[in-house]
Amino acid sequence: MLPWFQDGKFPLYLAPMARFTDIIFREFCKEQGADVMVTEFVQADALTRDDPKLWETVDFTVAQRPMGVQIFGSNPDSMAAAARMLVDRLQPDFIDINFGCPADRVICMDAGSSMLRNPKKLGMVTGAVVRAVPDTPVTVKIRTGWDDDSIVAKEVGHIVECEGAQALAIHGRTKVQGYRGDANWPVIAEVAEELTIPVVGNGNISSAEDVIRIQQQTNCSGLMIGRAALGYPWIFRDIKHYLKYGVVPEPPSIAERWETIIDYTRKIMARPYREQRHSDLRWMRPKFIALTKGMEGSRRIRGSLGQVNQIEDLERVAQLHIARLAQSESSR
């Protein structure tokens, strides 16, 4: 059993989210209590071609362990080669295989959730990766199926368990659903009941109450939090605090939240690859929008965030937002 599930531990994972859960964001989530993290997915073939951008994506710090690196692809040989290369260079705590991505560019390679339509091949890829890295655990992340008429989570769960995967994360939506609608927790519960390996449930978890409810209703061994952490990475701290003391702690002030965003920006721009390629902050605008989404009055600053080029622009947006909120607070 993977150590982070042993002795009744119930780990909270930060879900891998391409273009968002970079090394600095993960650092912050770890400080807030995320137990296990996985890098954004990287294409196995591209990794073996030694693309420096991808090696930046899979980089992590010792403090972030236990840390998994996620790969996607459909060719058992290149998936195995990429996993071996990652283990030799980085010694992650586990290799995670993505069989859930619904993006067209991934589906057209027959990878990600496309593999849910071909469970036999999915098993071959899993087995090849497991055999390539006998010294490192392999885990798998799936969706419930391709569409409502082909829910295959249970079948796929049995296959990957049989091939030697040591945990299974299930995003409770189908490929066709994308990110819409409710996550299908009954299916996740059913698979968690059936498998011997730990099942990590994922989909629309946004509060400590959600965690308690899912703990009561399923046999999941851990949970994975995605979009709720993007706008509010303190969610891990809140959940841990609630599980321990039964109350949610005071949220960070708006000033503290902005301080975190500005600190994050400075750190990410100091990363070697980013610094080389981006002279301004335009590429970070989607991150700013995601990071401020849950804040009071965030809609009003969205336009200004879309104009941010330099750190000074970001600081100005922050000051204006803080001042505006203080003003509306005092006039209440």
Q: Which residues are catalytic?
A: 101
| CB-nearest residue to ligand FMN | 226
255 or 289: CB nearest ligand FMN: 289
Closer CB to ligand FMN, residue 283 or residue 326?
Answer: 283
Candidates 69, 137, 146; CA nearest to 100 is: 146
Q: Are 56 and 273 in contact (CB under 8 A)?
A: yes
Work out how close the CB of 314 gets to ligand FMN at its nearest, in angstroms, rounded to a whole number. 21
Looking at beta carbons only, is 68 or 127 nearer to ligand FMN?
A: 68
How far apart, in whole angstroms, are the C-alpha atoms of residue 100 and residue 87? Answer: 22
Kindly write down the DSSP assignment for every residue of 280-323, as one continuous string.
SSGGGHHHHHHHHTTSTTHHHHHHHHTT--SHHHHHHHHHHHHH
Task: Give me the least distance between CB of 325 and ligand FMN, in Å please.
Answer: 27
Residues of the shown chain interacting with ligand FMN in the complex, contacts defined by CB under 6 A: 15-18, 20, 40-41, 70, 98, 100-101, 141, 171, 179, 202-205, 225-228
Measured from the CB atom, the residue of 235 and 281 that comes closer to ligand FMN is 235
Minimum gap (Å) between residue 243 Cβ and ligand FMN: 18
Cβ closest to ligand FMN, residue 126 vs residue 254: 126
CA–CA distances in Å: residue 17 to residues 56, 183, 278: 15, 17, 21
Minimum CB separation of residue 158 from ligand FMN in Å reads 20
The sign of the dihedral angle between the CA atoms of 124, 127, 131, 132 is positive
CB 331 → ligand FMN: shortest distance, Å? 36
Cα gap 100→95, rounded to integer Å: 15
